[in-house]
Amino acid sequence: MTTANLSPVPLMPDSPLYADYFKGLRDGRLVAEICTGCGQLQWPPRELCGHCQSSTFEPVDVPTEGVVYTYSVMYRAFHRAFADKLPYGVVVVEVADGVRFIGRYAGPDPESLECGQRMEAVFDDLGPESGSVAWRRVEDPAPASR
Partner 1 sequence: MVATLTDKAYIAGVAETEYVRGTPKSERQLILEASAAACRDAGIDPSTVDGIVMAWKDVPTNEDFIAALGIKDLRFHSHVHIGGASPVAAVVQAAAAIAASLATRVLVPTGHNWFSRPVRLSSMEQTPGGVGNVPGAEIRNNLENPAGLLAAMQWYSLHANRWFHETKADPAGMETVALTTRRHAHLNSKAYMRDRELTSDQYRASPVLVKPFHLFDICLETDGAAAVLVVSEEEARHMNGRAVAIAGGAEGHAECPDDLSTRPNILDMGITKAASRAFDMAGVRHDDIDFAEIYDCFTFIVLRQLEEMGFCDRGEASDFVSGGRIALGGDMPVNTHGGLLSQAHGIGMNHVIEAVIQLRGEAGPAQVEDAHIGLVTGYGDFSDGSVVILHN
Q: Which positions lie near partner 1, rule CB under 8 A?
A: 9-13, 15, 17-18, 21-22, 43-44, 69-83, 85, 88, 90, 92, 98-104, 111, 114-116, 132
Q: Please tell me the total number of residues recorded for the chain in this structure.
A: 146
| Separation between Cα atoms, residue 18 and residue 27, nearest integer Å | 14
List beta partners, residue 62. Answer: 30
Closest-CA residue to 103 (of 2, 10, 14):
10
CB of 123 to partner 1, least distance (A): 13
Of the two residues 78 and 139, which places its CB atom closer to partner 1 in the complex?
A: 78
- The sign of the CA dihedral 109, 114, 115, 117 is negative
Of the two residues 8 and 37, which places its CB atom closer to partner 1 in the complex?
A: 8
CB of 129 to partner 1, least distance (A): 15
Of the two residues 38 and 83, which places its CB atom closer to partner 1 in the complex?
A: 83
**Cα separation values, 96 from 13, 26, 34, 63, Å:** 26, 21, 14, 7
Of the two residues 75 and 141, which places its CB atom closer to partner 1 in the complex?
A: 75
CB of 86 to partner 1, least distance (A): 10
CB of 69 to partner 1, least distance (A): 7
